[in-house]
Amino acid sequence: MTPLAGCLLVSSMLFAVGLAGALTRRNTILVLVGIELMLNAANLNFVAFWRFGHHAGVSTGVIFGLFSIAVAAAEAAVGLALILAVYRHTKTTDLSLLTGRAQ
């Protein structure tokens, strides 16, 4: 049970929690939170493989981590802006009510 395996297990568990949350919760903001968790889980893999992977030393893992953080930040900003726009239009953030409506 090397540290690398430990990291991979933690990130897969994080990914599973994020996925479960994104699929089950009805509030759009929590779905977005689930997606953020999944993104972070992927990020954790990058760093784990950079640290313990075979060709460790080449710092591509950390660079990819940085870019993925930037992308996730942009995605969160746009996602939340969309949630706000939808809320202003329909006065609710409950997904189950939103899916069936004719826009």
Partner 1 sequence: MRQMSAAFLILAIVTMIAACAAMTLRGLVHCALALAVAFAGIGTLYLSLGAQFLGLAQLLVYVGAIAVLIVFVILLTRGGDGDASPLIPTGLPITGIVVATTILALLAWAVFHSFAMHSLGPPATPATVRELGTVLMAEYVLPLEVIGLMLTAALIGAVVVAMKEKQDTQ
List binders of partner 1 among 81-100 (CB under 8 A): 81-85, 87-88, 93-94, 96
- Angle ∠(3,64,39) on CA atoms, nearest 5: 75
Closest approach, Cβ 41 to partner 1, in A, equals 9
Q: Write the DSSP symbol of residue 5.
A: H
Write down the least CB distance from residue 102 to partner 1, Å: 17
Closest approach of partner 1 to the CB of residue 45, in Å: 10
Q: Which residue is associated with the tokens 């030393």?
A: 57
Q: Distance between CA atoms of 44 and 96, rounded to whole angstroms? A: 32
Interaction mask 13-52, partner 1, x per CB under 8 A: xxxxxxxxxxxxxxx-xx-xxx-xx--x--xx--xx-xxx
- Binders of partner 1 among 45-84, rule CB under 8 A? 47-48, 50-57, 59, 61-63, 65-67, 69-78, 80-84
Nearest to 9 by CA among 53, 61, 44, 39: 44
